[in-house]
Amino acid sequence: MHTDPHTPDLRPDSAAHPHGHRPMGHEAEDERPYGVEPEFVEEIVALLRARERDAVLARLEALHAADIADLIEQADPAERADLIDLLPAELDGEVLSYLNPDLREALIGRFEPQELAAAVADLDTDDAVELIEDLDAETRAQILAKLPDAERALVQENLTYDEDSAGRMMQRELVAVPEFWTVGKTIDFVRAATDTLPEDFYDIFIVDPMHRVVGAVPLSRLLRQRRAMRIADLVAGEVDVIPATMERAEVANLFRQYALVSAPVVDPSGRLIGVITVDDVVRIIDEEAEDDLRKLSGSGDTGVFSGIADIARGRVGWLTVNLATAFLASGVISLFEGTIEQIVALAVLMPIVASMGGNAGTQTLTVVVRALATHELSSANAMRVVGKELLVGLINGGIFAVMVGVIALLWYGPMIGIVIGLAMIINLVVAGLSGALIPLGLEKLGVDPAVSSAVFLTTVTDVVGFLAFLGLASAFLL
C-alpha cells in the first residue's frame, strides 16, 4: 500500500512526520496502529543484551522519533542508557524532546555538551527551550555557548519568560508578511525563503510596519485564492493574539474555545514575536488535566518514571496534611469516649457516616473543580450550582439514610437506625455544599482549587460525620 518512491528520510528537519513501518489500515482491528508493542521492546532488549548493535540500529531506523522515545521509556534502566548511546546523532534532539521529562533529566547526562548543542540547534526554538530549561545552570551555559548566535539569542529570550507562560513555549520561526502583499507574492516568498521558515506552519500572519499583528490567513484559504488577490483582504474577523505573559493553561483554553490551529504571540507593545501551534497545546491540555488529577489526589508532581526518593518525598506533604485532619477527626471521636464505652456499636458504625460523606463530597468537588478549570463555571452561574448540590445532597442523603438506617436497625436495633439515618442526611447535605463551596471559595481567594479542596473537604465531612452521629447518639441513646 505504501508507494512512496523515496526511502524514508529520518533526519529530523526533513519531514513533518517521518513515520516508520507501523501497521496500517489492513491490520487486525484490535492492534494498536501506533507506538511500540511489548514484544518489540523485548526483542530490542534481547538484541541489546546480545550486543547486536547493528540489528538494533536497523530496527531504530524504521521508527518515528516518538516511538524511539517510547521504546526507551519501556526498556529497563540499563538498556535505556545503551539505547541512548546507540542513537544516531541526528536523532538525538527529536527523541529527547519526545521523552518523558523525568527520564530526560535522568538520561541527559549521557551526552557531551557538544552533542547536546548540536541536538538543540536542530530543533525549533520551542523544543530547544524545553530541552535545556531543566538543565543545571552550568550545562545550560555550556550548550548555549555552542549555539549559533541568532539561535542563542532567541532561546535566551524565551527563557526570560515565566516557566508556565506563552513566551516560554512559543516557537520563534514563523511566516509574517506585510499587509499590501498579494497572494502571489506571498507564495513566491514562501517558495524562496525555504531555509528560514518553520518546518510546518498553518497560518500566515499579516503585520503592519511596526510588526504588530493585523490578521491571520489559514493556508487553506490562501491556497484557494487567485494570485492577484491582496492578502489583507483574506482576513476575516480579528485574530486571537496571545500576550507572551499569558499562562499556558489559559493558552490551552483559548485554543480550545476557538478551535485554533496556531496563534501569534505578541510582546507588550503588540509586536509579533512568536507563534504557538496546536501540537504543543495538545501536550499542555494533557499535562494540565494530569496536573488536576495529581493535585486532587495529592500525588505530587512525580509520575511512573520518577525516582523512588522523589516519589516518596512528593507524597509526604499531602499525607502529612491528611494526618493532621485525621487527628482532628480523632479528637472529635475522643469527645465521645464515654458514649462509645457504653454503646460499642457506635464505633462499628461511625466510619460509614464519615466515608459516605467523603465520597459524596468528592463527587461534587470533582465536577466543580473541573468546571472551574474549563471556565464552564463562573460567578454568574455559581450559586445555581451550589443550590443544585444542596438538593442532590438532600435527595441522596434521604436515600442512603433509609438504606443505612434499615441495615443498622436490623443489626443493632431501631434507635441506632434512626440516629445513623439522621447523621447520614446531615453529612451528605454538608458534603454536597462543601464540595461546591470550598473550591468556589478558594478560586475567589486566588488559590488553585485543585490543590487544596480535597483536604478541606474530607476534614469537613469527617468532623461533621463523627460529630453528627456520636452527638445524636449521646443525645438520644444514653
What is the closest distance, in whole angstroms, from the C-beta atom of residue 149 to a second copy in the complex? Answer: 26
The residues near 363 (Cβ < 8 Å, ≥ 6 apart) are: 435
Cβ proximity to a second copy, 66 vs 119, nearer residue: 66
Closer to a second copy at the Cβ: 201 or 456?
201
CB of 393 to a second copy, least distance (A): 9
Nearest distance from residue 460's CB to a second copy, in Å? 14
248-258 vs 278-297: helix crossing angle, rounded to 10: 120
Q: How big is the chain, counted in residues? A: 478
At its nearest, how many Å lie between a second copy and the CB of residue 213?
A: 8
CA separation for the pair 29, 401 (Å, rounded): 48
What one-character DSSP code corresponds to residue 212? B
Task: Output 141 or 307, the one with its CB closest to a second copy.
Answer: 307
φ, ψ at 9 (rounded to 5°) = -95, 125
Q: How far is the CB of 146 from a second copy (least distance, A)?
A: 27
| Residue 131 or 404 with smaller CB distance to a second copy | 404
Residue that is written with C-alpha cell 483554553 in the block: 253
Pairwise CA distance, residues 119 & 117, whole Å = 5
Which strands form 203-207's sheet, in the order they lie side by side?
Answer: 176-178, 203-207, 213-218
Quick one: 146 or 305, whose CB is closer to a second copy? 305
Task: Identify the CA nearest to 438 among candidates 422, 421, 459.
Answer: 459
* CA-to-CA separations, 152 to 91, 95, 122, 125, 148, in angstroms, rounded: 21, 21, 12, 9, 6
CB of 417 vs a second copy, minimal distance in Å: 14
Contact 427, 464 (CB under 8 A): yes
Residue with smaller CB distance to a second copy, 296 or 426 = 296
